[in-house]
A and B are shown apart, each in its own frame.
Chain A
Amino acid sequence: MAASKIQALWNHPAGPKTIHFWAPTFKWGISIANVADFSKPPEKISYPQQVAVTCTGLIWSRYSTVITPKNWNLFSVNVVMAGTGIYQLARKTRHDHFSEVQEVPAKE
């Protein structure tokens, strides 16, 4: 029955009545903010911030599988977050080191 499945989700230990649901759900906001920032000029990207986003995403993907209750919502949001961080770092690195060939003397 669909109703009992919904009930099972509603009452889940990591479900919508708990912080185990809302904290990770809100964490999607960081990835969404980062995706919105894909259109920002690379000069405005912050290396420290994006390194933090990437590393946090990778480590927390692991963390979310060993806490109680196990949290797949948290797992997925961190995987995506790491992905957005890697993309932003790639954008900024490409801009800083691989595109202004005319002004910068040859780098190895």
Chain B
Amino acid sequence: MAAFKAFWNSPVGPKTTHFWGPIANWGFVAAGLVDTQKPPEMISRNMTAAMCVYSGLFMRFAWMVQPRNYLLLVCHASNESVQLYQLSRWAKAQGFLEKKEPEGQH
């Protein structure tokens, strides 16, 4: 009970936007997970690549912002993973991750 109260009244708790901003960002993770089940032709290379850079930068932002925001950090770490996975699915569907030919050039 005391722990819940502490959370409820926290300066980064659910009464503040420091909580809901990161919650909104979990939407990217959820959307990404849903989209892993769709065919790779639907993946947007532009958006997925942008997400990978974006979440990388925002992990750092979450650490440095005042107040420090661990919820945001975990969210972006998760999004980074999902988006990198989606990017790899896209790349594979495009033929970028083919195994090297046995008669390799180098």
**A56 in contact with B24 given A20-B65, A67-B18 (CB within 8 Å):** yes
Q: Is B50 close to A, CB under 8 A? A: yes
Within 8 A of A (CB), among B39-69: 41-42, 44, 46-47, 49-51, 53-54, 57-58, 60-61, 64-67
A33 interfacial contact with B, CB 8 Å: yes
Q: Return the contact of A66 from the options B17, B31, B32, B60 (Cβ within 8 A).
A: B17
Q: Chain A nearest CB: distance from B12 CB in Å?
A: 10
Q: Which residues of A contact B64 (CB under 8 A)?
A: 18-20
Chain B residues, CB < 8 A from A59: 17, 20-21, 23-24
Of A2-10, A43-51, A97-105, the segment with at least 4 beta carbons within 8 Å of chain B is: A43-51
Looking at chain B's contact residues, is the secondary structure mostly helix, strand, loop, or mixed?
A: helix
Q: Which residues of A contact B67 (CB under 8 A)?
A: 67-68
Chain B interfacial residues counted at CB < 8 A: 34
CA distance A27 to B79 in the complex (A): 14
B51 to chain A: closest residue by CB: A30
Shortest Cβ-Cβ A-B pairs, 9 listed: A52-B27, A63-B21, A48-B31, A33-B46, A68-B66, A23-B61, A59-B24, A29-B50, A23-B57
Offer 24 A-B interface pairs, CB within 8 angstroms, sorted by A.
A19-B60, A23-B61, A26-B54, A27-B57, A29-B53, A29-B54, A33-B46, A33-B47, A33-B50, A36-B46, A37-B47, A40-B44, A46-B42, A49-B31, A49-B32, A52-B24, A52-B27, A52-B28, A55-B27, A62-B21, A63-B18, A67-B65, A67-B67, A69-B66
